[in-house]
Amino acid sequence: MIIAVILLILALLGAPLFSIIGGSALWGFHSEEINLQVVTIEIYRLAEMPVLLAIPLFTFAGYLLGESQAPARMVRMAHALLGWMPGGLAIVALTACAFFTAFTGASGVTIVALGALLYPALQQAGYPERFNLGLITTSGSLGLLFAPSLPLILYGVIAQQASLDTPVNIDDLFLAGILPGLLMVILLSGWSMWKQPKGQLTTKLDGREIFAAIRESIWEIPLPFLVLGGIYGGYIAVSEAAAVTAVYVLIVEVFIKREVKLRELPVIIRESMVLVGAILLILGVSLASTNYMIDADIPTRLFETIRAHIDNKWTFLIALNIFLLVLGMMLDIFSALIIIIPIILPIAAGYGIHPVHLGIVFLANMQLGYFTPPVGMNLFIASYRFNKPVMELYIATLPFFFILLFAVLVITYFPSLSLVFLGP
Amino acid sequence: MLQRGVKILHNIEDSLLVIILLAMVTLAFSQIVMRNFFGSGTIWLDPLLRVLVLWVGLLGALVATRQDKQISVDVLTRILSEKLKVISNIITRSFAAIVSAIIAWHSFLFLIDEWHSGVTAFASVPAWLTESIIPFGFAVIALRYTFQVIVLLIKVVKGAPDQ
């Protein structure tokens, strides 16, 4: 107990999370008098999960895309195709961000890469500044629920370790995210139409511009079809899709479009692998701590304690929503997944919650946590990027927060939204 | 002299990351091509790719420590005063150094056992070789945090003149 308190204080003081989790695993095994070499064996399991290959490959591809002109081309194309609608430009922003985040995994890259393009464009179209700030900051985590987003894959990896009665398939997660993700995009689009500045001229549908935009993006357009078609069609596994994406993006951006120079490649690789390393390190040590927790029956005991107070699934889901919202403000999505999922997955299963539904609920909540005041990460990234006080961003994101909170509640209490495409 | 050595080490880490990632991309892709168009993949490629994931992860973690980009909670540190921040950094980094050192040490012992037992990971590659990145990685991480603590301590003793 004292150890747990010390670890908690250290974590709050900013100790690297891997050391907290690793420390708790070491302490746990030590007090059970188990040889600490077991920690090495657990970390080595990182080399025994085929699907993990997808993480470095997708991250690399995402960083590479972010460094190229692909975001600008994507915005142009979205504008040509959607700009004519009421609230068109805002919807362009939402669509582009959701799409980009799905491929880059919501590590704040979206705000940095797309914000610079979309913010001035929105400003020019006459949207109020506060609306623009709120929209861009919110969109920075939109798209988490769409394949092939990294958090979805990571959830699948972790859930597979839990060996539940209902196996969790990553392809199922990709299917489950579609409707909840669309719900969020649609609700935010509706709000944008409502907030459209009066007398704003929407751009006309221009065949020539559409043609030019498509021609410019001709190399990137096949990418989603390649990846999503391959996975949803059952032709390739997730890690294979990641390999195809990495090769494709590498060839297009470096050798065909030549927007990323060969000598810039090492830095891009290094920066993307720093993120991958930080995630995998936490995952590695948490395999050890999870193993210890399951040995010590901690999830079961927690479940019994919780069940003494919460007797049904719905009350549990409300408590879960609140808990995850607070968690999402404090932890980034990757560590939250790695640390919390092994604990709550068995508990949720005890309440009869489908593990795939739990995953979608978890990620939807985390998405909200990205911009929940006072400490959501994207608030600070946007504050830094647009040079605005964080306080202004709190106010700017507030309406968006309530809209997505509503979406999260719908996603939580209507499991069929997530599970409708899954087989029986 | 020391600085040059450190710089060379950084370059080696960076180069290894680049080489391993590009190898992963190439090998994973060629495996798909071979499997789908020639009906036969190479048996040892899949385990090799999985080991490379571990390697790229730990090497990335080394660099993350170097760049101070390890994932941590920064709720409290954002509101701490400059002086308290230095103190909390000393405490938390020392802790991280100790944990990493313990993992490195026990991984090293594990490696020696594996070396004696002569187990192979795949093809004729010995298991200790594929596992060696674990003690190495954690040892370097432990050293890095130790250095960071020393630098911070010197700063405290000198009374933070750069303010």
Distance (Å, rounded) from C-alpha B84 to C-alpha B82?
6
Distances (CA, A) of A317 to A163, A353, A376, A407, A414: 22, 9, 22, 14, 11
DSSP state of A252: I
Q: Which of A63, A416, A14 is nearest to A269 (CA)?
A: A63
| A372 band by pLDDT with thresholds 50, 70 and 90 | confident
End-to-end CA distance of chain B: 29
A282, A338 Cβ separation under 8 angstroms: yes
Containing H/E element for B126? strand B125-126
**What is the average pLDDT score of chain A?**
87
What average pLDDT does the segment A228-240 reach? Answer: 82
Q: What integer pLDDT is reported at residue A297 of this predicted model?
A: 81
CA distance A154 to A276: 12
Task: List the 259-288 stretch of A: residues with Cβ below 8 A of B.
Answer: 265-266, 269-270, 273-282, 284-285
**Average confidence (pLDDT) per 10 residues, chain B, 163 residues:** 88 95 95 83 88 96 92 78 90 97 97 90 88 96 96 84 49
* CA pair distance B8, B2, nearest whole angstrom: 10
CA distance B106 to B134: 10
Per the listing, tokens 């995210």 go with A177
Check if the beta carbon of residue B122 is closer than 8 Å to that of residue B47. Answer: yes
H/E stretch holding A26 reads helix A17-31
- Please determine, for residue A109, whether its predicted confidence score (pLDDT) is greater than 90: no
Which residues in chain B touch residue A57, judged by CB atoms under 8 angstroms apart?
A: 24-25, 28
Burial class (CB in 10 A: 0-12, 13-18, 19+), A187: middle
Cβ A246 vs Cβ A61: under 8 Å: yes
B72–A285: do the CB atoms touch at under 8 Å? no
Confidence of residue A300 (pLDDT cuts 50, 70, 90): confident
Enter the pTM of the model: 0.88
Q: Tell me, what's the pLDDT at B163? A: 45
Are B25 and A250 a contacting pair at CB < 8 A? yes
Note whether A274 contacts B67, CB cutoff 8 Å. yes
List pLDDT tens digits, range A395-404: 999 999 999 9
Distance CA B36, CA A243 (A): 14
Give contacts of A282 with chain B, Cβ < 8 Å. Answer: 71
B73-99 residues labelled b (16+ CB within 10 A) or e (exposed): bbbbbeebeeeebeebbbbbbbbbbbb
CA dihedral for A380, A264, A92, A124, sign (positive or negative) = positive
Residue B21 in contact with partner chain A when CB distance is under 8 A: yes
Asked whether the beta carbons of A36 and A26 are under 8 A apart, the reply is: yes
The SS3 assignment for B101 reads helix
Q: How far apart are CA A72 and CA A351, in angstroms?
A: 46
Phi-psi region at A105: left, alpha or beta (left = phi > 0; alpha = psi -120 to 50): left
| A47, A270, A273 ranked by CB distance to B54: nearest | A47
**Contact status of A150 with chain B (Cβ, < 8 Å):** no
Specify whether the CB–CB gap between A272 and B57 falls below 8 A.
no
In A, residues 26-55, which contact B (CB 8 Å cutoff)? 26, 35-37, 39-41, 43-44, 46-50, 52-53, 55
DSSP tag of B125? E
The pLDDT tens digits for B119-150 are: 888 888 899 999 999 999 999 999 999 999 99
Q: What is the pLDDT of residues A240-273, one digit of tens each?
A: 889 999 999 999 999 999 999 999 999 999 999 9
B159 conformational bin, left if phi > 0, alpha if psi -120 to 50, beta if neither? left
Q: Cβ distance A360 to A176 under 8 Å? A: yes
CA distances from residue B149 to A19, A310, A422, B84, B142 in whole angstroms, order as listed = 15, 46, 52, 14, 11
DSSP state of B121: E
